[in-house]
Structure 1
Amino acid sequence: MKNAIHTALAGLLVLCFAAAPAPAPAQATTALDGIAAVVDEDVILRSELDRAVQNIIAQYANQPGQLPPRDVLERQVLDRLVLMRLQLARASDTGIRISDAELGQAIESVASRNRMTQDQLRQRLAADGIGYEEFRSSLREEMLIERLRQRYIQSRVQVSETEVDQLLAQRAIGGPEVRLANIVVALPDGATPEQVATAQRKIEGIRDVVNRGELDFSAAAIRYSDAQNALDGGDIGWRGYDAIPPAFVGLIQGMKPGDISQPIRGPNGYQLIKLVETREAGQQTLTEYNAQGLMVRVTPTVPVEVARQKIQALRDRIVAGEDFATIARAESDDSISRASGGDMGWFAINAWGTAIGNQVQMLADGELSQPFQSEVGWHIVRRIASRTQDVTEKNRRNQAREIIGQRKAEEEFERFLRQLRSEAYVESRLEAPAAPAASS
C-alpha cells in the first residue's frame, strides 16, 4: 500500500516529507542536527536528508541491490531537496498559494485513487510512520511546485497550427511507441575541455559496468545518473517517435528491446539510452452519443424531494405524448441546452458528467430514462442515437500539439531550473562519490 500512495503522489513521498524540516525545539535541533547543505539563507538539515534517504531505502526494501552506496544515494536525494527548496522559495516570493480547500480536494483525490476514505488514508499513513500533518504539508508543497511550473510556462509556451502541420508533415504521429530509459552525465554551460573529457570517461565507465553485468541499467541510473529521473531507475516512459528528439530517432529505430546505445553527446551532457520495449498503436475510435436532457436544479428553495417530484411529473407529461423539446424550453434549469429544447448534441460518454453518461450508456436509442440524480439536481434524458467515430486524425493533431507543447514546456522549465540553481548559493556538506573506472 505504501508503494501505491507513492505512485499516486507522483514522487512526492519519495522525499518523505523532507522539503520542510519537522518542528523541533530550536536548541535541540542546534545540538543534535548537522547541516547537509546551505541553500541561500536557508539550510537543509541532516535529519531531513536522513528521512528522505530512509524513505528511498524503504521503497527498495525488496531490491536492496538496486541502490547505490549510502554516500551516492545521499547526493542524489540532496540534489532533489535543494531544487525543491529553491522552487518553494520562488513560489513564495511570487505569491503562489494553495488554499485549504484546494488541499482538501487533493487529499480526497489521493484517497480516492488508492480506493480509501480519508480516514483510511490517515490510518494507513500512521501505520507507515507518516504523520498526517507532515503529509498535508508535503502535499501542499508539491502543489506549490506544480503551480509554479504551470505559471512559468503558461505565458512562454504557445503552439500554432502551422507548427502542428509541420510536425505532422515531418513525422508519423500515432505510429509505434517505445519505452525508454536513460543515464545522464551532466555538463555545465560552457564546459571546459577537461570537464568534457571527464564526463566522457564517466559515461563510458558506466556503460562498461552495465555491459559487464555488475549492475543492471536501472541500478546504474540510480547510482550514477545526474537526471531528475535517476531515482526512478532512469525510466522515461512510453514515447512515440514523434516525441523523441530527431537526432535520436534513427539511433533508436536501429535498436532492439534491451539494447543500450553508445554514449551520446547532447546539449546538457552525455547520456546512454536503453530501449526497454516497443508496442504498436492501432486505429483510435470514440463512441459518441446524441441525446436530449431536462434538469430540475436542487436549490435552497427547491429541496431534493420537491425537485424529484417535479422531474417525475415532467417525465409523465412526455410519456403521455407532450413534446420533449417544448417542455425542456419551458421547464429545464439547464441553461446550456434549454434554448435548443434540451438538445445536448453529439458528445463523448462523460462530457456532461458521469451521472448523465452512465444513464445514456444504459439506454437504447429512442429510450427515455427514469429520473436520476446528479450533484446539481434531478434529470431525465432521452438517447436519440449513438455512433462510433474514427478520431485517429483528430487525435494525431492533438497529440502533435501536446508533443510540441510538452517539449517547449520541458525546455523552458529546465532552463528556468538551471538558472534558479546557478543564481542560488548552494554549499553541499557531502563528499562527491567517485566515478566508475572505464575498462582499458
Structure 2
Amino acid sequence: MTKTLPVLLAATLALSTATATALAQEAAQLQPLDRIAAIVDEDVILQSELDDQIRAIRTQYADRLDQLPPQAVLERQVLERLVLTKLQLARANGSGMRIGDEELNYTLNAIAQNNGTTLEGLTQRLAADGLTLAAFRQNLREELTIQRLRQNFAQSRIVVSEGEVDAALAQANLNTIQYNLANILVAVPEGATAEQLATAQTKIDGVKALIDKGEMDFNAAAVRYSDGPNALEGGDLGWRTMDEIPNGFTQLLEQMQPGQVVGPIRGPSGFQLLKLVNQRDTSAAGAQTVTEVQARHILVRINAAQDDATARAKAQAISARLAAGADFAEVAKETSEDTNTRNQGGDLGWFAADAFGPQFGQQVTSLTDGGISAPFRTDAGWHIVQRMASRQTNAADENRRAQVRETIGRRKLEEEYNRFLQEMRGEAFVDFRSGDRAASTAN
C-alpha cells in the first residue's frame, strides 16, 4: 500500500455524473428496433445511446446552446467518447476486472450519503430525472470498471522517483502557485502527412483569430472546435500546480497574465491554444501541525481471482485469529496481500490520518493506541488495521513532499493514460454507421 492519494469515486461522485449517461440504458430497453451508430471491435454503440448522450449535453447547455458546435460536430465528439468508453470496458473485462453487486451497493450508498439522502431518496431523485435505479446501477458499474482500469494502469506504469520530488521542491515558488487552465486542441494523427499538418495549422490559426477578434470566447471555441477530451467542458483543465503541467508549458505560464491566450503550440497530440484563466497562491502561513499515527495493517485484495465476498470472508477469519490473541505482525507476514508492507509485519510507519483515503482515515482515528479494527473495506480491498501510536507534528515539509509526489504522479498518469487511449483507439476496428463519417472506411 503506497502513500499516494487513491483515485476515489464512491465518496465524491456527483449524482449528475452518472445520470448523464444512464439514459442510454433506458433507451436501449425501450427501443427494440434500435439502429447501430457504430461497431467497435466486437461491441456496438446504439443510436439511442448516442441520441441520449447528445440530449443530456444539450440539456446541460440549455441556457447557452449557441456555444455548442453544429449537430454533426457534436455527434462526432460524443460518438468518439462512446468509442473510448467501449474500448476501456472491453480492456477491463478482458483483464478480469469485475464490479460485484456488493461493491456496487456499497458505492450506491456512499453516493446517496454524499448527496444528503438515502438509497430510497436517490431512487426518487433518479425517477424525477426520468431514470430507473437499474439504469443508474449499470452506468455506475461501467464507471467503476473504467476507474479500476485506470488505477491498475497507474500502479503498473507510473513511478515517481525521489529525485523528481527533490527537483520539484528545489523550485519552492512552483509548489505554492496553482494555475486554472483551459486548452483547445486540434489533433493530428501519429505520423501525420505534411498536408494533414498544414490543415491542422490552418484550423488552429483560424480559431485563434476568432478569439483574438472577440468574435467568440475561448470556452465557446473549445466546445465548437477542440478535439480534446475536455472540449464539451469548454476546454477546462482545472486547477494545477507546475508539477502537473507538461514541461513545454511551464515557461509560458510564468510570463502569462490571467485571461491571456497563447499559441498555437505544437505538441505530440497536435496544435494547442492555452488559456490562463486564473492563478492563486496556496502557501500556508506559519507551521502546520497535524496529527500523525503509526499503524500496521493487513490487506485482503479484491481482484479477478478473489471477489468481494471471498475477500471479506478471508478478512473476517483473520480478524478472529487476532481476537484470539495471535500476534498482529506475524499474522500480517503470513496473510497480508500488501506486498509493500507484508514483510515488515504490515508496518505503515508514521502518516497523517487521511493519507490513505477517508475510509482508512476514519478507522484509524476511531481507534485508541494499541487498538485493532474490525475488517473494513476501501477501494484496495478489505483491511484490518492496528493503531500503534499517535503524535502531533509539524508536517509541512513531509506534506509538501507527499503533495508534490502525488501531483507529479497525476501529471504522468494523465499523459500516459491519454497515450494508452490513443493506442487502443488506433488499434481498434471502428465502423461508423451514423453521422458525417458513416460512409468512411472502418478504422
In the alignment, is the contact (CA less than 8 A) between 1:184 and 1:271 conserved in 2?
A: yes
Q: Distance in 1 between matches of 2:166 and 2:249?
A: 22
In the alignment, is the contact (CA less than 8 A) between 1:183 and 1:226 conserved in 2?
A: yes
Residue segments in structure 2 that go unaligned for 5+ positions in a row: 1-10, 295-323, 330-348, 376-388, 438-443
The one-letter amino acid of 2:414's match is: E
Per the alignment, residue 21 of structure 2 pairs with 15
List aligned pairs for 1:327-338, cutoff 5 A: none
- CA deviations on 1:88-135 (whole Å, 9 max, x unpaired) are 111122211001011011111211121111111100000011121110
The one-letter amino acid of 1:395's match is: N
Per the alignment, residue 64 of structure 1 pairs with 65
Q: Distance in 1 between matches of 2:57 and 2:216?
A: 18
Per the alignment, residue 435 of structure 2 pairs with 430
- CA deviations on 1:264-286 (whole Å, 9 max, x unpaired) are 11111001111111101212723
In the alignment, is the contact (CA less than 8 A) between 2:293 and 2:353 conserved in 1?
A: no
The one-letter amino acid of 1:401's match is: R
Q: TM-score, normalised by structure 1?
A: 0.73
In the alignment, is the contact (CA less than 8 A) between 1:172 and 1:242 conserved in 2?
A: no
Q: Distance in 2 between matches of 1:47 and 1:185?
A: 28
Q: Distance in 2 between matches of 1:356 and 1:153?
A: 26
In the alignment, is the contact (CA less than 8 A) between 1:19 and 1:81 conserved in 2?
A: no
Per the alignment, residue 225 of structure 2 pairs with 224
Per the alignment, residue 54 of structure 1 pairs with 55
% identity of equivalent residues:
48
1:188 equivalent to 2:194? Answer no
List aligned pairs for 1:115-194, cutoff 5 A: 115-169=116-170, 172-194=173-195
1:201 equivalent to 2:202? Answer yes
Q: Distance in 1 between matches of 2:163 and 2:113?
A: 40
Per the alignment, residue 288 of structure 1 pairs with 291
Q: Distance in 2 between matches of 1:201 and 1:126?
A: 47
Q: 1:399 aligns with which of 384, 403, 409?
A: 403
Residues 163 and 263 of structure 1: CA distance in aligned 2, closer, same or farther (over 3 Å): same
2:261 counterpart SS class:
coil
- Displacement of 1:161: 1.7
Q: Distance in 1 between matches of 2:392 and 2:105?
A: 39
The one-letter amino acid of 1:131's match is: T
- Give the count of matched residue pairs: 364
Per the alignment, residue 272 of structure 2 pairs with 271
List aligned pairs for 1:385-424, cutoff 5 A: 387=392, 389=394, 391-424=395-428
Residues 350 and 171 of structure 1: CA distance in aligned 2, closer, same or farther (over 3 Å): closer
In the alignment, is the contact (CA less than 8 A) between 1:111 and 1:117 conserved in 2?
A: yes
Q: Distance in 2 between matches of 1:92 and 1:385?
A: 42
Q: Distance in 1 between matches of 2:413 and 2:115?
A: 29
Residues 21 and 253 of structure 1: CA distance in aligned 2, closer, same or farther (over 3 Å): same
In the alignment, is the contact (CA less than 8 A) between 1:185 and 1:226 conserved in 2?
A: yes
Per the alignment, residue 333 of structure 2 pairs with none
RMSD: 3.7
Which range moves more in the overlay, 349-358 or 90-99?
349-358
Q: Distance in 2 between matches of 1:184 and 1:160?
A: 30
Q: Distance in 1 between matches of 2:412 and 2:99?
A: 26
Residues 264 and 10 of structure 1: CA distance in aligned 2, closer, same or farther (over 3 Å): farther
Q: Distance in 2 between matches of 1:185 and 1:346?
A: 47
2:243 counterpart SS class:
helix
Q: TM-score, normalised by structure 2?
A: 0.72
Q: For the pair shown, which has the larger CA radius of gyration, 1 or 2?
A: 1
